């Protein structure tokens, strides 16, 4: 399935929704504009708010290949762009020597041809697929790399070409759709941001989080999802080391279903907090009286509202 780019903000919203992603208008607008202007979309936000998922859903919805570059400390050009298949080259040399074809120049030409090139994500992203359309390139968690890599990336993002000394310059016929994410463990250089359409992905409000749960955990009882969402929203207002993301809300709902719960009670909350909070200090803080107090507020709020 190959679909064309969305033709309006509403179409972008609907495209994401059909891919089971519940976006708000501001995110859909950012996506629509980034696609329209042919700019990379830079998504920054806390872990678990749905940044990576946007790249995945976009590739699925558009029927484009997804090429993912997962960033990490020490990521280098050999892992991000290309490297030579050293062991295959060695074998080739041995075979050539053994069969008496030891013409040095010919061997060199042969072993530095595409056959021995291992293409990594950034090089793959410059090639179109069988349909002739460029892929979606997801550069995930850019904040985990270092500044030299950022500088290199900036170069790739400006001309979508890579030079391999032994082969020549590889240039994309059509630039890929680029999604960059950052969990903001450090600031990304302005030069990269300037090239992109920037969007801060926030935690969803209660209404949107409820919709997300309906899509992601459709079998959950209505009352339970409402309580879960309100509880998590209250929790995000507390002073915590790490607030629960959407991923945690989904996990918690699934966990509660496994426990056959249709209604939250203090004991269940206390015993399952580890699904929501991942730091012992946070769990210790919330467990007990604070959890009970939040639960009271949640239940009072829901019965007042309905």
Ligand X SMILES: Nc1ncnc2c1ncn2[C@@H]1O[C@H](COP(=O)(O)OP(=O)(O)O)[C@@H](O)[C@H]1O
Q: Which residues contact 161 (CB under 8 A, 6 or more apart)?
A: 126, 169, 170, 171, 172
Query: Does 48 sit near ligand X (CB under 6 A)?
Result: yes
The helix or strand, by DSSP H or E, that contains position 180, with its residue range, turns out to be: strand 177-182
Q: Which one, 52 or 172, has the nearer CB to ligand X?
A: 52
Per-residue x/- marks for ligand X, 72-101, CB under 6 A? ------------------------------
User: Would you count residue 53 as binding ligand X (CB under 6 A)?
Assistant: yes
250 belongs to the binding site for ligand X (CB under 6 A): yes
Stretch that binds Mg ion, among 10-18, 49-57, 153-161, 248-256 (CB under 5 A): 49-57
Residue ranges with strand state E in 222-283: none
Q: Using CB under 6 A, which of 9, 13, 35, 51 touches ligand X?
A: 51
Instruction: Show the binding pattern over residues 206-245: x = contacts ligand X (CB under 6 A), - = does not.
Output: ------x--xx-----------------------------
182 binds Mg ion (CB under 5 A): no
**Residue 27 or 286 having the CB closest to ligand X:** 27
Interface residue with ligand X among 9, 15, 21, 178 (CB under 6 A) is 21
Out of 30, 41, 52, 225, point to the residue binding ligand X (CB under 6 A): 52
What is d(CA 23, CA 20) in angstroms, rounded to the nearest whole number?
A: 9
**Is the CB of 55 or the CB of 135 nearer to ligand X?**
55
- Tell me how far apart the 2 most distant CA atoms of the chain are, in Å: 88
Q: Chain centroid to CA 24: how far? A: 17
Please give the Cα distance from 96 to 106 (Å, whole number). Answer: 10
Residue from 254, 259, 234, 256 nearest 244 by CA = 234
Question: Between 52 and 59, whose beta carbon lies closer to Mg ion?
Answer: 52
Closest separation in Å from C-beta 225 to ligand X: 14
Task: HSE, CB side, 13 Å, CA atoms: give it for residue 164.
Answer: 20
**Which residues, 6 or more positions from 180, have their beta carbon under 8 angstroms from its beta carbon?**
40, 41, 42, 43, 139, 142, 192, 196
Binding flag, residue 52, Mg ion (CB under 5 A) = yes
Q: Measured from the CB atom, is 215 or 240 closer to ligand X? A: 215
Stretch that binds ligand X, among 16-24, 92-100, 165-173, 217-225 (CB under 6 A): 16-24
Distance CA 250, CA 264 (A): 15
C-alpha distance from residue 107 to each of 91, 104, 118, 265 (Å): 11, 5, 18, 73
The residues binding Mg ion (CB under 5 A) are 52
Give the residues lining the site for ligand X (CB under 6 A).
Answer: 20-23, 45, 47-53, 181, 212, 215-216, 246-247, 250
């Amino acid at each position: 399935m190959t679909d064309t780019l969305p033709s309006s903000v509403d179409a972008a919203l609907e495209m994401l929704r059909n891919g089971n992603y519940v976006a708000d208008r501001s995110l859909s607008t950012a996506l629509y504009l980034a696609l329209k202007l042919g700019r990379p979309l830079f998504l920054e936000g806390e872990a678990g708010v749905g940044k990576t998922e946007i790249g995945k859903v976009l590739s699925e919805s558009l029927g484009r290949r997804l090429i993912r570059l997962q960033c990490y400390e020490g990521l280098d050009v050999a892992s991000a762009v290309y490297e030579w298949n050293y062991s295959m080259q060695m074998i080739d040399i041995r075979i050539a020597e053994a069969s008496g074809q030891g013409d040095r120049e010919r061997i060199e030409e042969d072993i530095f041809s595409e056959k021995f090139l291992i293409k990594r994500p950034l090089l793959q992203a410059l090639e179109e697929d069988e349909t002739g359309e460029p892929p979606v390139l997801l550069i995930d968690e850019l904040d985990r790399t270092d500044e030299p890599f950022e500088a290199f990336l900036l170069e790739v993002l400006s001309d979508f070409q890579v030079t391999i000394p032994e082969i020549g310059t590889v240039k994309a016929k059509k630039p890929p759709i680029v999604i960059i994410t950052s969990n903001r463990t450090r600031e990304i250089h302005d030069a990269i941001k300037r090239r992109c359409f920037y969007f801060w992905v926030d935690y969803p409000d209660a209404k949107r989080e409820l919709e997300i749960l309906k899509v992601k955990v459709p079998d959950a009882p209505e009352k339970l999802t409402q309580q879960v969402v309100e509880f998590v929203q209250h929790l995000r207002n507390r002073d915590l080391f790490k607030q629960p993301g959407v991923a945690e809300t989904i996990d918690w709902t699934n966990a509660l279903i496994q426990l056959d719960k249709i209604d939250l009670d203090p004991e269940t909350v206390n015993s399952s907090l580890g699904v929501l909070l991942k730091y012992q200090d946070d769990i210790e803080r919330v467990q007990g009286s604070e959890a009970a107090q939040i639960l009271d507020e949640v239940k009072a709020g829901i019965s007042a509202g309905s």
